[in-house]
Amino acid sequence: MNILVINGPNLNMLGIREPDLYGKEDYAALVALVEETCAQEGIQVEVFQSNHEGAIVDKIQGAYGKFDGIVINPAAYTHTSVAILDALKAVSLPAVEVHISDVSQREDFRQVSYAGMACIKTYMGLGLEGYRQAILSLKAHLQNH
């Protein structure tokens, strides 16, 4: 099993960026948690972060035929990017959406998730633990399909 974890804009600023919302752990800690979880679960993983919408679209397209599934936190592009939604639909790989904060309790403009429309499940408000849950849920889905 080979999965791709994608993180969108400003997630590289974890630890510095709004710690009350996103916690004090930095991006390296997030990558370590993902890699440790995948190693424990016998999953191969690549972790990708970009601040650029087109780079994320390119990465999703490149996942076709290469990865079995995707965990994605599109960050602010969650609420704006039809291009990321269309890319997820184009490759048709099972995808799980993660948000560190509980977006359901935040501003109105965060209440729509385009990428989420192409995802089998969403985890939000669990902090970095949400990535672990997303990986476990993607693994279970891949084993059952």
Place of tokens 């993902």: 34
Name the residue among 65, 66, 69, 64 with its Cα closest to residue 6.
69
Which residues are near ligand DQA by CB under 6 A? 10, 73, 75-76, 78, 99-101, 103, 110
**Active-site annotation holds for 22:** yes
- Length, in residues, of the chain: 145
Catalytic residue among 22, 27, 77, 114: 22
Beta strand segments in the chain, E: 2-7, 44-49, 69-73, 95-99, 121-124
**Active-site annotation holds for 52:** no
CB of 145 to ligand DQA, least distance (A): 26
CB of 42 to ligand DQA, least distance (A): 27
Which is nearer to ligand DQA, 1 or 129 (by Cβ)?
Answer: 129
CB of 101 to ligand DQA, least distance (A): 3
Amino acid at 109: F
Q: Give catalytic residue positions.
A: 22, 99
